[in-house]
Structure 1
Amino acid sequence: MTIERTSFVYVTFISAAPEKVFEAITSADISSRYWGHSNVSDWQPGARWEHVRNESGVAELTGRVVEHSPPSKLVISWVNRSEEADPQAYSRVTFDIIPYDGMTKLIVTHDDLIKGSGMEQGVSKGWPIVLSSLKSYLETGTGLNVFAKPKAA
């Protein structure tokens, strides 16, 4: 049986240099300020990366660095830590960082997701607020509350 896959593409424009955007994604200290998690790795191709939650210190997501080309591109595999033994569970995230008339165009492609999975649902809700928080952090120095929930009507 073939597993159906899907992908998401998010584009945002950030008033910051490509080097700053790349650093914000790959620096454990900076990512913790706008994401609520630290992205931890030495970022060499083949190296493990972990997405460590600030409050608990637990790596909830993990994967491998596929490509590291600062400041223009980062590609990582992505999986829930609880599923890392299952090769089918892995998806891929590509960060394309493009200079754009004094700004940076950031394209995040999250592909090879299992259609209908919890991961698909999570990233479809998570990426928009994380990327908004990244933009806010780089432009104002303050990220958003990425764990905020809608108020009940």
Structure 2
Amino acid sequence: MTTEKTSFVYVTYILSTPQKVFEAVTRPDVARRYWGHENVSDWSPGSKWEHVRANDERTVELVGKVIEISPPSRLVISWANASQAADPASHSRVTFEIEEYESMVRLTVIHDELEAGSGMANGISKGWPIVLSSLKSFLETGRALDIFAKPKAA
């Protein structure tokens, strides 16, 4: 039986340049400032990447491989929880499309090949909007959002 797949797409417009947006995703020292994690890789096709918590524990939370890279307009990576790295069926795919759009950038993040109803699918549908909002705030104002914030109790 084939597992049903789903995808998540998020589009935002950022007052920045394609190069700065691309670097914000791929440079660990920049990603840690708005994401609370570092994306660590040599960014060559086929190379591994790790999503490392930017704290004292330096926990590797997500892993994958660089599938395609075309700076500063496109990056495609596989994506899995570190605990499921050995199971190819648990891997999903993330595509970053970065387009110049007059005086700004249109960033489209497509997270697909997700198992429908899985914890990963549910988590990324909440995670991507705050991470990408923080990226936008950081590049436009120099101030990131608290991506670990929780909703206030009613």
Q: TM-score of the superposition, structure 1-length normalised?
A: 0.99
- Looking at structure 1, the residues matched to 70 and 37 of structure 2 have their Cα atoms a distance apart, in angstroms, of 22
Secondary structure of the equivalent of 2:86?
coil
2:10 maps to amino acid: Y
Q: Structure 1, residues 92-138: CA drift from partner, whole Å, max 9, x if none?
A: 00000000011000000000000111100110000000000000000
- Looking at structure 1, the residues matched to 143 and 51 of structure 2 have their Cα atoms a distance apart, in angstroms, of 20
Q: TM-score of the superposition, structure 2-length normalised?
A: 0.98
Is 1:47 aligned to 2:47, yes or no? yes
**Corresponding residue for residue 143 of structure 1:** 144
- Looking at structure 1, the residues matched to 113 and 102 of structure 2 have their Cα atoms a distance apart, in angstroms, of 31
2:16 maps to amino acid: A
Structure 1 residue 54: Cα displacement: 1.1
**What runs of 5+ residues in structure 1 fail to find an aligned partner?**
none
Question: Size of the alignment, in residue pairs?
Answer: 153
**Corresponding residue for residue 133 of structure 2:** 132
- Looking at structure 1, the residues matched to 38 and 72 of structure 2 have their Cα atoms a distance apart, in angstroms, of 19
1:100 maps to amino acid: Y
Alignment of 1:24-43 (within 5 A): 24-43=24-43
- Looking at structure 2, the residues matched to 68 and 42 of structure 1 have their Cα atoms a distance apart, in angstroms, of 11
- Looking at structure 1, the residues matched to 27 and 93 of structure 2 have their Cα atoms a distance apart, in angstroms, of 19
Q: Structure 1, residues 4-38: CA drift from partner, whole Å, max 9, x if none?
A: 10001100000000000000000000000000000
1:21 maps to amino acid: V
- Looking at structure 2, the residues matched to 60 and 86 of structure 1 have their Cα atoms a distance apart, in angstroms, of 15
Q: Structure 1, residues 23-75: CA drift from partner, whole Å, max 9, x if none?
A: 00000000000000000000000000000001220110000000110000000
Alignment of 1:3-152 (within 5 A): 3-55=3-55, 56-152=57-153
1:15 maps to amino acid: L
Secondary structure of the equivalent of 2:105?
strand
- Looking at structure 1, the residues matched to 75 and 17 of structure 2 have their Cα atoms a distance apart, in angstroms, of 16
- Looking at structure 2, the residues matched to 68 and 122 of structure 1 have their Cα atoms a distance apart, in angstroms, of 25
> What's the % identity of the aligned pairs?
64
